[in-house]
A and B are shown apart, each in its own frame.
Chain A
Amino acid sequence: ETGVTQTPRHLVMGMTNKKSLKCEQHLGHNAMYWYKQSAKKPLELMFVYSLEERVENNSVPSRFSPECPNSSHLFLHLHTLQPEDSALYLCASTGQRNEKLFFGSGTQLSVL
């Protein structure tokens, strides 16, 4: 148990569906992240929220929409995804810059 909880663990969705991934951290951290992990590729940083300020990776398609209602919760809203978006989506948190990341168990997403 890392203190970072992600739900659901697995998700299968069609390209026309709308779904949301949820992340909750119980560590009192003030920064939360979404990473994408595809097979044979490095971890790709998607979004960062630090003290409720969003720093966005410009290469992330608009079909991915993050939401951070408070410092403990992070969502990733998914809409009209493509099969190539199938991947493991990892949430992470950290207390301060340059500190270690605490990862959740991830959501394994399959887009059909």
Chain B
Amino acid sequence: GQQVMQIPQYQHVQEGEDFTTYCNSSTTLSNIQWYKQRPGGHPVFLIQLVKSGEVKKQKRLTFQFGEAKKNSSLHITATQTTDVGTYFCAGPLYNQGGKLIFGQGTELSVKP
């Protein structure tokens, strides 16, 4: 069945270091969404990418959607302790009314 995989599962960084998480789909996606879940919290929408090769920035966060629309990445420059949490990518299930399938997430910890 359709799958969305994320790597790495965990990432521990020193504050100030960069961080990247990668998302790969087994099928072409019409769009991809990214969510952040703080410890003890719920997922919060960050961004949606729709176009092939699209790049979007939110302050220190850079999101990319691959040319083939099967992979995506989230890069954080100069991490801060406020970046701690789990980052999920999600893509719509094919021919199922836009329901989202989530990757397993990348848990980021930042050491001050």
Question: Which residues does A use to contact B, with CB under 8 Å?
Answer: 2, 33, 40-43, 45, 48, 50, 55, 90, 96-106
Chain A residues within 8 Å of B48, by CB: 100
Given the interface contacts A98-B30, A98-B31, does A43 sit within 8 Å of B42 by beta carbon? no
CA distance A43 to B100 in the complex (A): 10
The stretch that binds A, out of B57-65, B75-83, B101-109, is B101-109
Chain A residues within 8 Å of B105, by CB: 42
Chain A residues within 8 Å of B35, by CB: 101
Contact of B88 among A2, A43, A97, A102 (CB under 8 A): A43
Q: Is the CB of B43 within 8 A of A55?
A: no
Q: Is the CB of B97 within 8 A of A50?
A: yes
Question: Which residues does B use to contact A, with CB under 8 Å?
Answer: 4, 30-31, 33, 35, 41-45, 48, 88, 90, 92, 96-105
Q: Is the CB of A42 within 8 A of B42?
A: no
Q: List 28 A-B residue pairs with CB atoms under 8 Å apart, sorted by A's residue number.
A: A2-B44, A33-B99, A42-B4, A42-B102, A42-B103, A42-B105, A43-B88, A45-B99, A45-B101, A48-B97, A55-B96, A55-B97, A55-B99, A90-B42, A97-B97, A97-B98, A98-B31, A98-B92, A98-B98, A99-B98, A100-B33, A101-B35, A101-B100, A103-B42, A103-B44, A105-B41, A105-B42, A106-B42
Q: Is the CB of B104 within 8 A of A41?
A: yes
